[in-house]
């Protein structure tokens, strides 16, 4: 059993109590569209928090409000206990999803500019250290426009974390990165967390959310619909999923009694059992139809939960 | 403030080290100098003789009119710039009236169209008569010119002098007396007399130099316009480009929209002050070299820089707003007309303002805040100047208006840099200002 899901992250169970971010009854509208609707959530200090949700659900708006770029129409946003209005401070860093930098500037000059703009002083050493760490030291004197997309994204990441923030907000930080760069950035995020930095990141990669985040918040249509560690989220769902691998592929899965839904993942398939269905009966029925390579009853994955909530026939209402 | 200065420093360095800025810095004086050279060359090209046909229905005036025309042309050539400068010599010839007047005029008009003839002066038979019907023209002047040259004035002088001579002859005035009566008296242009503020003594007006008094003020105002435009215009496309490249998204985590806009305004101001200081210094150096420093309006330089600062701040804030609202740099270029209006309208009206610096239109325009920097500076620079209080009142109005523009622009900028999709129309921009 189990889908290779890590526990709720290395810090699971020892997340500190002091909230880095407190959002209370926040609503934000753009003209007639309610982007965030009476949202309340708390982000604990010193952990990695994942924001998931479909496009247009309000994740970016929420992160922009935390970063003080947008202001709520109603409700309050407190960061490290302070409600902020128009100020910017070095303790919060924000990497937007849609991002760009001055392409005509040289990499090191650009990073020093961003670092100083965020309130850093004498950031050169920090910039050089990060360039070396992300394998960009050789590009320090190159113009940004000469870099590949992946290198440019790593530069944007460095521009966000110099000087080192207390709260790091990352909107789709892995978007467009190759696996090697993804590992480098993930390692850097975990390193920042180890040094006490609170990280909020949004991602559409459910595997990344499962493995990287200590807690997960799902926002759907402006409302919070999930909030907790992966274990606590999964615990609220029954073990109603069968992961199966058959020699004959999906051929034998048609009209299987007790199965509501078949999710073909390619080599393996996930079957959602109807309420009251017994997995043993499904196993017997399958064995009668095909040779079974593997069969396990698992908790629904985060991906599955996401689809259950945000799919065409979403199943749950918003949680309190 | 630290963030504003950081942004301003980055943008300023980017602006003044760009090829466009450096090339523009060099090209502007070359274009101005080149234009003058081109006009001189073109005028030299215009110096080919223009044929003037005089059709005299009185039968007695043609010779006198032609002689007067020749005299006037000769006087102009002897002292160019002191009289009516048409830029070309004339050859006059008398054409005998034909029975079919319409056919003759048509033939002469065709000659003008084909370029063989330039002007036809058609003198009516009763042109010399005191009791003639004033509803019909005494002299018809046919030409194909657009009316921008001074030929009309010269021909009017020739006709009137010629006809007066004939009238005097008909009154049996002696020809020597006629010459004495019609003798031309040149006038000498003088500066106004004044009283020395320190000694209280009378200071006589000096003879004006060969350069018209409006030339230096004109160039000073053109310099202000050009420097302001070159400092401000790039903002439009640069900001739209940054928005399209999502640069602002990154910066907004570190700086407020107002920080960003203020930084860009300061950078534009820095670029404008850099180029204007370069031109003013170069101009003063050239005038010193030509021993013409007395023509330099040194007392106006502080006002020049004050107006430049107000104008650039006002326009660059406005350009930041328009650039931020534009979806693409191309859209930003289409919005450029909204930016250049406060500059271009007074520029088109420079000539009437120079002619009537204290006319109602000039005074009203100089107190209209968007136009104040250009028009008030021009009025101050022209001979006669303005009452002492007018520049100060104009300046206060311009500063107040600049602050209003900054306020409105910052509200547009704040929304514009994060907005996506179509470029908003003017009513929506006003809605952004209203809603903030």
pLDDT band, very low/low/confident/very high, at A2 (cuts 50, 70, 90): very low
A246-272 pLDDT, tens digit each = 887 777 777 788 888 888 888 888 888
Domain boundaries, chain A: 19-91+165-234, 104-157, 238-298
Closest by CA position to B381, among listed B227, B213, B228, B210: B213
Mutate to test the interface with B, among A60, A67, A88, A157 (most CBs of B within 10 A): A88
Nearest residue, CB atoms, B253 vs list A86, A87, A93 = A93
A163-215 pLDDT, tens digit each = 888 899 999 888 878 888 888 888 889 999 888 899 999 988 888 888 888 88
C-alpha to C-alpha distance for A164 and A126, rounded to whole angstroms: 9
C-alpha to C-alpha distance for A191 and B264, rounded to whole angstroms: 36
Mean pLDDT over all residues of chain B? 83
Nearest residue, CB atoms, B245 vs list A86, A100, A113 = A100
Which residue in chain B has the smallest CA separation from A118? B254
Q: What are the structure tokens assigned to B113, written together?
A: 């169209």
> Angle at Cα B266 formed by Cα B260 and Cα B267, nearest 5°?
90
What are the CA-CA distances from residue A226 to residues A72, A301, B304, B394 (Å)?
21, 13, 64, 62
* Set of chain B residues whose Cβ sits within 8 Å of the Cβ of A98: 246, 249
Contact A113 B10 (CB under 8 A): yes
C-alpha to C-alpha distance for A82 and A20, rounded to whole angstroms: 10
Q: Where do runs of H (alpha helix) occur along B171-246?
A: 175-181, 215-244
Element (H, E) at A217: strand A215-220
> What's this model's pTM, rounded to 2 decimal places?
0.72
Q: How far is A33 from chain B (nearest CA, A)?
A: 15
Q: Is the dihedral of CA A165, A169, A171, A173 positive or negative?
A: positive
DSSP 8-state code for residue A176: T
Mutate to test the interface with A, among B247, B253, B428, B432 (most CBs of A within 10 A): B253
Beta-carbon pairs below 8 A across chains A and B: 65
* Set of chain B residues whose Cβ sits within 8 Å of the Cβ of A104: 14
Query: Could you give the count of Cα atoms lying within 13 Å of B3 in the half-sphere of its Cβ?
Result: 22
What are the CA-CA distances from residue B288 to residues B93, B198, B207, B275, B357 (Å)?
49, 27, 21, 20, 28
Contact B252 A69 (CB under 8 A): yes
Name residue, tokens 């009154």. Answer: B171
Which residue in chain B has the smallest CA separation from A94? B253
pLDDT over threshold 80, residue A41: yes
Strands A215-220 and A223-228: antiparallel
- Which is more confidently placed, B87 or A136? A136
With a CB-CB cutoff of 8 Å, which residues 249-268 of chain B face chain A?
A: 249-256, 259
* Set of chain B residues whose Cβ sits within 8 Å of the Cβ of A101: 247, 250
Nearest residue, CB atoms, B249 vs list A88, A98, A102 = A98
* Set of chain B residues whose Cβ sits within 8 Å of the Cβ of A116: 6
Nearest residue, CB atoms, A159 vs list B6, B250, B259 = B250
B389-432 pLDDT, tens digit each = 999 999 999 999 988 888 888 888 878 877 777 777 778 878 88
Interface check for A116 against chain B (CB to CB < 8 A): the answer is yes
Name residue, tokens 């301003």. Answer: B8
Contact A114 B250 (CB under 8 A): yes
Closest by CA position to A84, among listed B256, B98, B427: B256
pLDDT over threshold 70, residue B339: yes
Which residue in chain A has the smallest CA separation from B263? A117
DSSP 8-state code for residue A274: P
Q: What are the structure tokens assigned to B102, written together?
A: 């319409």
Q: CB neighbours of B422 closer than 8 A, spacing ≥ 6?
A: B327
Contact A156 B250 (CB under 8 A): yes
Task: Please tell me the predicted confidence (pLDDT) of residue B81.
Answer: 47
Give the right CATH number for A19-91+165-234 from 3.40.1080.10, 3.40.50.1980, 1.10.1370.30, 3.40.50.300: 3.40.50.300
Interface check for B63 against chain A (CB to CB < 8 A): the answer is no
The total of other beta-carbon atoms located within 10 Å of residue B274's CB is 17
Name residue, tokens 């990154």. Answer: B250
Q: What are the structure tokens assigned to A42, written together?
A: 């708390």
Contact A67 B253 (CB under 8 A): yes
Task: Please tell me the predicted confidence (pLDDT) of residue B46.
Answer: 59
Question: Domain A238-298 has what CATH class?
Answer: alpha beta
B23-74 pLDDT, tens digit each = 888 887 788 777 777 776 766 655 677 889 999 999 888 999 998 888 888 7
Nearest residue, CB atoms, B250 vs list A100, A105, A119 = A100
Domain boundaries, chain B: 2-30+211-435, 49-181
pLDDT over threshold 80, residue B133: no
C-alpha to C-alpha distance for B138 and B350, rounded to whole angstroms: 35
Task: Please tell me the predicted confidence (pLDDT) of residue B47.
Answer: 62
C-alpha to C-alpha distance for B363 and B368, rounded to whole angstroms: 9
Element (H, E) at B38: helix B19-45
The total of other beta-carbon atoms located within 10 Å of residue A265's CB is 11
DSSP 8-state code for residue A23: E
Mean pLDDT over all residues of chain A? 82
Task: Please tell me the predicted confidence (pLDDT) of residue A12.
Answer: 44
Where does B49-181 sit in CATH, by number?
3.40.50
C-alpha to C-alpha distance for B391 and B381, rounded to whole angstroms: 11
Task: Please tell me the predicted confidence (pLDDT) of residue A113.
Answer: 92
Closest by CA position to B412, among listed B400, B398, B424, B401: B424
Query: Could you give the count of Cα atoms lying within 13 Å of A172 in the half-sphere of its Cβ?
Result: 13
Q: What is the mean pLDDT of residues A122-134?
A: 88
Stretch among A118-127, B183-192, B367-376 having the lowest mean pLDDT: B183-192
Contact B7 A117 (CB under 8 A): yes
Nearest residue, CB atoms, B254 vs list A86, A104, A114 = A114
Q: What is the mean pLDDT of residues B218-245?
A: 82
Task: Please tell me the predicted confidence (pLDDT) of residue A119.
Answer: 81
Q: What is the mean pLDDT of residues B169-194?
A: 82
C-alpha to C-alpha distance for B251 and B248, rounded to whole angstroms: 5
Closest by CA position to B48, among listed B133, B142, B111, B115: B115
ipTM above 0.85, yes or no: no
Q: How far is A276 from chain B (nearest CA, A)?
A: 50
* Set of chain A residues whose Cβ sits within 8 Å of the Cβ of B6: 113, 116-117
Contact A110, A155 (CB under 8 A): yes
pLDDT over threshold 90, residue B19: no
B115-125 pLDDT, tens digit each = 889 899 999 98
* Burial track A135-157 (b if 16+ CB lie within 10 A, e otherwise): ebeebeeeebeebeebbbbbbbb
> Angle at Cα B223 formed by Cα B380 and Cα B46, nearest 5°?
100
Q: What is the mean pLDDT of residues B251-272?
A: 86
């Amino acid at each position: 059993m189990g889908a290779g899901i890590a526990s709720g992250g290395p810090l699971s169970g020892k997340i500190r109590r002091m909230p880095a971010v407190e959002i209370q009854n926040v609503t934000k509208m753009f003209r007639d569209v309610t982007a965030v609707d009476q949202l309340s959530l708390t982000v604990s200090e010193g952990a990695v928090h994942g924001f998931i949700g479909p496009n247009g659900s309000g994740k970016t708006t929420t992160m922009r409000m935390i970063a003080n770029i947008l202001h709520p129409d109603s409700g309050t946003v407190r960061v490290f206990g302070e409600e902020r209005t128009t100020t910017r401070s070095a303790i919060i860093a924000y990497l937007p999803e849609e991002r760009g930098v001055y392409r005509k500037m040289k990499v090191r000059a650009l990073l020093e500019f961003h670092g100083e703009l965020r309130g850093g002083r004498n950031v050169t050493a920090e910039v050089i250290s990060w360039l070396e760490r992300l394998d960009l030291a050789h590009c320090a004197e190159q113009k940004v426009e000469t870099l590949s997309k992946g290198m440019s994204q790593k530069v944007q990441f460095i521009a966000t974390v110099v000087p080192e923030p207390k709260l790091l907000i990352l909107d789709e930080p892995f978007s467009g990165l190759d696996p090697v760069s993804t590992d480098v950035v993930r390692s850097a995020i975990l390193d920042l967390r180890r040094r006490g930095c609170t990280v909020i990141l949004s991602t559409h990669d459910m595997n990344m959310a499962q493995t990287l985040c200590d807690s997960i918040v799902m926002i759907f249509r402006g409302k919070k619909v999930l909030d907790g560690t992966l274990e606590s989220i999964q615990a609220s769902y029954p073990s109603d999923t069968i992961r199966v691998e058959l020699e004959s592929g999906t051929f034998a899965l048609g009209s299987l009694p007790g199965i509501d839904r078949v999710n073909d993942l390619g080599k393996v398939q996930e079957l959602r059992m109807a309420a009251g269905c017994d997995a043993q009966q499904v196993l017997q029925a399958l064995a009668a139809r095909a040779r079974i390579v593997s069969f396990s009853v698992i908790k629904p994955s985060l991906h599955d939960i996401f689809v259950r909530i945000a799919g065409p026939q979403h199943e749950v209402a918003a949680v309190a | 403030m630290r963030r504003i200065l950081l942004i301003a420093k980055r943008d300023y360095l980017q602006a003044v080290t760009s090829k466009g800025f450096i090339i523009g810095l060099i090209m502007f004086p070359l274009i101005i100098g080149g234009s003058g050279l081109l006009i001189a060359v073109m005028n030299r090209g215009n110096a080919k003789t223009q044929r003037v046909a005089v059709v005299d229905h009185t039968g007695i005036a043609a010779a006198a009119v032609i002689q007067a025309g020749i005299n006037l042309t000769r006087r102009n050539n002897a002292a160019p710039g002191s009289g009516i400068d048409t830029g070309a010599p004339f050859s006059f010839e008398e054409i005998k009236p034909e029975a079919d007047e319409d056919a003759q005029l048509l033939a002469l008009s065709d000659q003008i169209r084909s370029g063989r003839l330039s002007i036809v002066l058609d003198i009516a038979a009763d042109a010399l008569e005191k009791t003639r019907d004033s509803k019909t023209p005494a002299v018809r002047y046919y030409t194909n010119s657009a009316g921008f040259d001074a030929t009309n004035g010269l021909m009017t002088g020739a006709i009137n002098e010629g006809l007066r001579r004939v009238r005097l002859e008909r009154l049996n005035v002696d020809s020597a007396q006629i010459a004495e009566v019609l003798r031309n008296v040149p006038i000498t242009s003088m500066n106004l007399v004044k009283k020395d503020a320190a000694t209280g003594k009378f200071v006589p007006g000096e003879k004006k130099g060969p350069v018209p008094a409006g030339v230096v003020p004109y160039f000073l105002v053109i310099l202000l316009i050009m420097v302001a435009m070159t400092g401000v215009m790039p903002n439009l496309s640069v900001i739209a480009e940054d928005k399209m490249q999502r640069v602002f998204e990154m910066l907004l985590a570190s700086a407020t929209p107002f920080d960003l806009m203020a930084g860009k305004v300061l950078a534009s101001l820095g670029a404008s002050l850099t180029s204007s200081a370069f031109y003013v210094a170069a101009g003063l150096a050239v005038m010193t070299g030509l021993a013409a420093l007395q023509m330099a309006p040194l007392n106006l330089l502080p006002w020049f820089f004050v107006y430049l600062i107000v104008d650039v701040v006002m326009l660059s804030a406005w350009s930041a707003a328009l650039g931020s609202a534009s979806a693409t740099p191309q859209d930003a270029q289409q919005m450029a007309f909204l930016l250049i209006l406060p500059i271009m309208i007074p520029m088109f009206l420079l000539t009437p303002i120079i002619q009537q610096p204290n006319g109602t239109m000039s005074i009203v325009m100089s107190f209209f805040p968007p136009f104040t920097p250009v028009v008030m500076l021009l009025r101050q620079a022209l001979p006669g100047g303005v009452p002492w209080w007018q520049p100060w009142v104009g300046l206060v109005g311009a500063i107040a208006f600049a602050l209003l523009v900054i306020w409105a622009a910052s509200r547009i900028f704040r929304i514009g840099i994060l907005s996506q999709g179509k470029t908003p129309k003017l009513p929506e921009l006003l809605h952004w200002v209203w809603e903030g």
